[in-house]
Amino acid sequence: SATLRERPMGVLRARLNATPPWRSLSPSRRASGTHPKCDLEVWAEGKGRDLGVELVYCHASLCRQNQRGRILWLGRSEQRAVHDSVRGDRFVTRGLEERGAPEVPSKLTPAEAVFGITAAIISLLGAFTIELQAMDNGSGKLIDLYTSLGLRRLPQAAGEIQWMEAPTRLIERLAPAHWVDDLRLAGFDGRAWLEDVMADRAVG
């Protein structure tokens, strides 16, 4: 976890869970193409009168086999929208100008920042691509927003929700530099951690 400087945000938390371990899979499940996945949750809580209140939440998964990360939900847990107190407000300082991303706004919404820090962790775990479904209400605004952040549309079947993807390195530009520092991601060897977890949970 990390203490956040931006009001009304108080704490940033992240939780990783790798399951199932490869060696715990039966031969039939291995043959069927089942592969271990890493589950990632990142969320920001409020402070003051909103102490401990979840403001923004991102749920993602990573499949090591295809080195792709997938955003399962961005909003709040239980498929809720971002908290009203921070929704749409741009007050999080990106702080990545030195990393060469001038087209990304210098001030981000909390949801964009949490999206970025999620991508940064996924990248450390070995994902080169990040994907999501743009659950747009038909206005096209959400798709336009994701496009502005660096994602591109994938071919869409009639009646299906629009899938989008981007190189993980483009989305992790959104991660505020001080969030990266406070979570100590620079010293985190995600790939080695994932290998260790798989081995520790192995059965037999």
Per-residue pLDDT for 21 more than 60?
no
Sign of CA dihedral 66, 99, 57, 90: negative
Residue 95: which pLDDT band, with cuts at 50, 70 and 90?
Answer: low
Q: What is the mean pLDDT of the chain?
A: 85
Q: Does domain 9-19+35-194 have CATH number 3.40.50.80?
A: no
Domain map (residue ranges) of the chain: 9-19+35-194
State the pLDDT at residue 100. 46
> CB of 140 within 8 A of CB of 162?
no
Query: What is the C-alpha to C-alpha distance for residues 88 and 94, in angstroms, rounded to an integer?
Result: 15
State the pLDDT at residue 193. 84
161-176: average pLDDT = 94
Which of the residue ranges 23-37, 71-85, 147-161 would you say has the lowest mean pLDDT?
23-37
Burial of 41 (0-12, 13-18, 19+ CB in 10 A): middle
State the pLDDT at residue 102. 47
Residues 6+ positions from 87 with CB-CB distance below 8 Å? 81, 109, 111
Residue 187: which pLDDT band, with cuts at 50, 70 and 90?
Answer: confident
DSSP string, 173-199: GGS-HHHHHHTTGGG--HHHHHHHHHH
State the pLDDT at residue 203. 39
Name the pTM for this structure: 0.86
| SS3 call for 71 | strand
State the pLDDT at residue 22. 52
What digits encode the pLDDT tens for the residues 96-137? 554 444 456 678 999 999 999 999 999 999 999 999 999 988
State the pLDDT at residue 190. 87
Percent of the chain whose pLDDT exceeds 70: 82
